[in-house]
Structures are given as C-alpha cells and as structure tokens.
Structure 1
Amino acid sequence: MATGRAKGRGRGRARGRDETQDERADRMWSELIQEVRVAQTGVQILFGFLLTVVFTARYPQLSQTDRTIYIVTVVLGASATGALIGPVSFHRLVSGRRIKPQAVTWASRLTLAGLLLLLATMTSALLLILRVATHGDYTPWVVVGVVAWYLLCWFVLPLWVRLRHTTID
C-alpha cells in the first residue's frame, strides 16, 4: 500500500510536497534568501559605482538632463538596495514570533519590489552611460532592447513557464 508521500509519484508528475505549513514556510524562506543574495550583491555593486560618479572630474561637465538621469538612477539604486535588504531585516525583527508564513509573504513582496526597482535602476544607468558614451540617436532604442531582454528573462519567461506547467488538482 502506498504512503501519502509516494502517492501520485513515479508515473511522471509529482503532486506536491508532503510538508506542514511551518516546513513550507522554512523552505520558502531559505529559497527566498538565496534569491535575495544574488540580487543584493548586484544592486550593491551597482549602487557603489553610482555613488562614485559624482566625485569624478567628468561629472561637472554633464548636461542638466544627464545629471537628472544620474540623480534618478542613484535614488532608484538606493531604493532597490533598501527593498532587497528588507527581507533580512524583516526576518530579524519577526524571528521567533511564530509568524514565518506571513514573514515569507511580506519578504517576497519586498523582493519583487526590489527587482522592479533594480530593473528601473539598470534602465536608468544604461541610459545615462550610453548618452554620455555615444551621444547617438539610437541610444533610446538600445535601452528599450535591453529592457525588453530583462523583462523577458526576469518576468515573461518565468510567468510563461509557470502558466504552462502549473496544474490545478
């Protein structure tokens, strides 16, 4: 006789995990923190480089438009950093309160907000760099192409796979 864990497995598709709500929250928290580590590192490096730009000799020579793009980029980078570090702080402040499922939900929302802010930061930084480096009329088109690539990789493809391969029992 098959156990609850083995039922539905072995014929191609698993029917889900046999875990309690707390076990699921622990697993999801671990997965979320691993994902956040990747994004945090990237946004922190980008933000660090952005902070140095204002201290370069070239900064005073930037047009007012480029300075505005720079300021927007720094604010977006700071916001992305805050949102992506937020789950760590969130966990620390609610740890031991027996509300991990709720903490996972909110940390996941902060992470998604951080990814959206990172997308905006990358877009703005790319626009500024290409404007300063090329002065080309094609710059907005290159930026749109790269943003489309980010959207495809970060959101469209995962959502397509999710819709295509998620089943409802």
Structure 2
Amino acid sequence: MTEEQPRGGYSRDGEDEHERLDRHWNELLQELRLAQTGTQILFAFLLSIAFQPRFQDADNFTHDVFAVTLIASAFAVGLLLAPVAFHRIVFQKRLRDQMIPIAHHLASGGMALLVVAMCGGVLLAIDVVLSRTIAVVIVAVVALWFIGFWYVLPTYVRRTSRPTGE
C-alpha cells in the first residue's frame, strides 16, 4: 500500500466534484429508503395500538411511553422524509452542494429519533410479558446495542482510519 492510497486501496481517483455530489446523494437516498420503510411501518403499528380496548385500561406509565414513542416515530418519519421534500423544492436549482450536508443532518436526526422509537416500542411490548424492571433493563440493552452499532463502531472506524478525501 502506497502513501497516496487510502486504507484498503479503495479510491475514487478521477471523480470530479459533480460526480462525487451525485454519488453522495444516491447513497443517501438508498440509506433513506431502508430507514423510511421500517419507520413508517413502526409508526402505523403504533397508531393502531391506541385504539385497542386493552390499551385504554393501561396505566399512566404505558400511556406516557406510548406517547413518547409515537411522537419520536412521527418525528423520525418527518426527518427521514425531509430530504425528499427538500429535493423537490430545490430541484433543478443547482443546489446539490448545499442540499447534501443538510440532508445528511436530517437523516442523522431521523436515525437518532428512530432509536428512541424502537426502544419505546420494545418497552411497550416487553412490559406486557415481563416485569417492568426487567423490561426497562432489556430496553437499556437494546439502546446500547443500537448506539454501539449505529454510532460507536462507525465513529471508531472513522477515527482510526486514514482520511480518504471521501
């Protein structure tokens, strides 16, 4: 491996700025397609819970967890769909260089809210079948799982790898 080559020999020599922006936008759209689908299904499922007769009789803790989870899910959907709406409004205005960093932050915020929504959904389900204490412990483990794989591992790899000009 030479000094000029990034770790692993992967490089995009010859890619101009426009090609790089187009590639980044397409990669972001692919990531959003995956995240949006699951988040929208979770949101729809949560909406159906509120209208179940058994849910009406649940305690305040369950109603509070449900409310936070539903709102986090709705906000996640909003942030994960925001880059699409943003693109529709600035389409053909030659603003991709500005759009990509903004869309990146919107998607990152949506993913963070998705962690909250997933943990809330797990807590709602596990609280029904196990004791509340065990349910909270399990949700803490689930939260650490998401944080570890979604944030800690990529941050570690990013900080220990040589920059590639990506």
Note whether the superposition's TM-score is higher than 0.5.
yes
Q: Percent identity?
A: 36
**Please, which of 21, 24, 27 is the counterpart of residue 25 of structure 1?**
21
**Please, which of 74, 78, 81 is the counterpart of residue 82 of structure 1?**
78
Residue 75 to residue 136, structure 1, CA distance change in 2 (3 Å)? closer
Of structures 1 and 2, the larger Rg is shown by 1
Corresponding residue for residue 135 of structure 1: 131
TM-score computed with the length of structure 1 as normaliser: 0.88
Q: Which runs of 4+ in 1 moved over 6 A?
A: none
- What residue ranges of structure 1 are gaps of 5+ in the alignment? 1-7
Corresponding residue for residue 144 of structure 2: 148
Do residues 94 (structure 1) and 90 (structure 2) align? yes
Superposition map of 1:157-168 within 5 A = 157-167=153-163
Report if the CA contact (8 A) 2:39-2:73 is conserved. Answer: yes
Shift of 1:13: 2.5
Report if the CA contact (8 A) 2:11-2:164 is conserved. Answer: no
Post-superposition CA distance 1:102-155 (Å, at most 9, x none)? 101111110000000101111112122222222342221111111111111111
Residues of 1 paired with 2:41 and 2:98: CA distance? Answer: 30
Residues of 2 paired with 1:67 and 1:106: CA distance? Answer: 34
Residues of 1 paired with 2:64 and 2:117: CA distance? Answer: 13
Q: Give the letter for the 1:104 counterpart.
A: I
Do residues 123 (structure 1) and 128 (structure 2) align? no
Corresponding residue for residue 53 of structure 1: 49
- What residue ranges of structure 2 are gaps of 5+ in the alignment? none
Q: Bigger CA drift: 132-141 or 57-66?
A: 132-141
Q: Give the letter for the 1:157 counterpart.
A: L
Q: Give the letter for the 1:89 counterpart.
A: A
Q: Give the letter for the 1:31 counterpart.
A: E
Shift of 1:16: 4.4
Residues of 1 paired with 2:163 and 2:31: CA distance? Answer: 24
The aligned length equals 162
Q: Comparing both structures, which one devotes a greater share of its residues to helix?
A: 2
